[in-house]
Structure 1
Amino acid sequence: MSLDALFQPLTIGSLAVPNRIVMAPLTRARADANNIPTPMQGEYYAQRADAGLIISEATAVDPLGMGWYRAPGIWSNDMVTAWRGVTDRVHAANGRIYCQLWHMGRLVLPDYLDGDLPIGPSPIAGEGETMAPPTGTYDGGFLPMKPYVVPREMTQADIDQLIAAYGKAAANAIAAGFDGTEIHGANGYIIDQFLQSKTNQRQDRYGGSIENRTRLLGEIIEAVIAHVASGRVGLRISPTSERKGMGDANPAALTEAIGALAQRHGLAYIHLIEPIASGFMEKPDYPVMDHLRAVFTGTIIQNGSFDAQTAADYIDAGRAEAISFGRPYIANPDLVSRFRDGRELAQPNFDYAYVGDERGYTDYPVATGG
């Protein structure tokens, strides 16, 4: 069947893109130990600049939200300057790149906070464990794993500081040369923690009803669009995901509330994680795409276990306007041309997903030969 749908131009909000293949955010841990982006990241993104749109790896808006060794931030002037070097490389290669704004909330280990507790909507720990920072001399390799801890329940002052951090990060992203921003409201991080009923047990105006649980998201959107035109702002969500101890009593109703909020603020797109097959995340028993379509008229970018043909079929069927690819982009910097030419995809070496510097990061070759 035809893959033509993948290669049609599209306008996402106010941004014109040449195709409908989106590079999904991929945390790769190649910033420096102070969370400042490196020239290596500029090369990595420039190699992938023929994507219709690149969405950067998750980028922390505040030190309290940083819980991943060598992930990048965007809260300081040094970070803005370093990111400018990355975006300049992408633009020189005729690419387009948005900054994904991120705060991990309860999923930050105290090890990253000088021993302080992380913050979250309610004192409920995430399920599972995560990578702790190295101690002593570190020369690469896998990091120690530690379980999540019970976070400190956020006060109104904490919430106000969080909203302000998103606003400042949005302004910084534009100063750094990004074409727009994506608010990370998925994958069990802080906005998702407020949205889903299992992790939000608050008794104030930010908890209980769906209207209250979406309040923080609405206030963050307002803070972001004060600095970035709404037509250059997207939102990533995963309302059916139960990873890391997430869960909601009514994902369909939550999705409709989120979509209506995005519609009211004129956001460019919603980036929905709803796998069509179980893999990194489970395929939901009750998908929410139709509920999102009912209330949101902007672009929908779908994500989750797609290949070229299923992506084209989804677009042809009007199920999404674009499809984002994550893991295929690790080993295929030329993913767009591989799809177009029908070439076999290279397979990533996950031993170097988060370590290795250039190895397993910028050294994947483009396809050659007939």
Structure 2
Amino acid sequence: MFTIFGSTALVISYFPLYYKSIGFSSAQIGYLYAIGPLISMFSNMIWSYASDKYRTIKRILTLLLIGQLVLLLLLWQVSGFALVFTVISLFYFFYYPVYPLADTMAIQTAQRYGRSFTVIRVFGSLGYAFFALAIGYVIGAQGVSWTLAIGIALSVFTLLFSLQLKDGVMNKVEGMNAANLLRLLRSRELLWFFGCTLCLALAHRMNEAFFTVTLSQLGAGEGLIGWALMIAAVSEIPIFFLLSKYGDNIKELPLLAFASLMFGLRFLLMALAADPIVVLAVQCLHSITFGVFYVTAVRYITRMMPLQFRATGMALFTIFWSSASGLISGAFGGILFEHAGRPFFYMLAAMLSVLAFAGFLGRHLLAKPGQVYDEGIGG
């Protein structure tokens, strides 16, 4: 988890700066960001469904990491937009499915040893924080050209760690077929949850795709960018521990509504910010936005999805939280950011967050007693 989420800091936050350094426009950066979510919309389902069907996470996770390493080596050799676009598309086929599988393995490991998932997930935040800061200083000292070399080194370490993992006990479960999965996907509860998640994710991915570009426009150097990313990741840790201890006492939908409202406040402040130091302060809200939402959403999915579709359920959540939202925000966000400006860009993100708040809160208030909280979708 430490090295996997360290790679996230690199790919999500520093790849845009690398693209900018080799001469790509904001619109081109948006397209490169968008192609990953487009690829992951089917790659997440392919690999996670295979994991559920063949009852293994470790072997598929290792295969994905090998694919990432090979494609990073290829990406190091190209610089034209068309070639970069092709190679990064293949890279994302192996990159995005790692996260739902890693979370599923973390859930299994937590259950095996009687620990909380959030305690294991904290190491992802620590990895993101450490590498966000360290990579910022390395790139600041050595140049943006080191971005891919760092990515290759991280891939090697993650692959070596993956070889030491142990698959959970995944006994064969009845009902593991596509027909049951399709019936499950027609559940009104899931559709409502994923619809609200998509609204919030659009706002979150808009910020994620152009956060480092925003800081760069405000005059921040690579070191300050690293600190901004580290502050966000470190702020998650106390929230994860608090939710691990007390989160089960609070129903999921009110927590999701609260996180969405705080996202709206965060993006409103980003629209008004005119100094990189102000942006650093706003980053502290990451704890009660992403931190609260992510842990609560994983708990919701884990409770609602039947055991035989656990990895597939996490993949579906990832598709809405990362893939579909990243595709839309990447395809249109670059154009919007370039032509409408940063304040309007973030005001739109704030409005989407408030829409998600209304959806989660409305579902909580309008649901019949016992309809949502007393029983999962799987019965």
Calculate the TM-score normalised by the size of structure 1.
Answer: 0.30
Q: Which has the higher helix share?
A: 2
Q: Which has the higher strand share?
A: 1
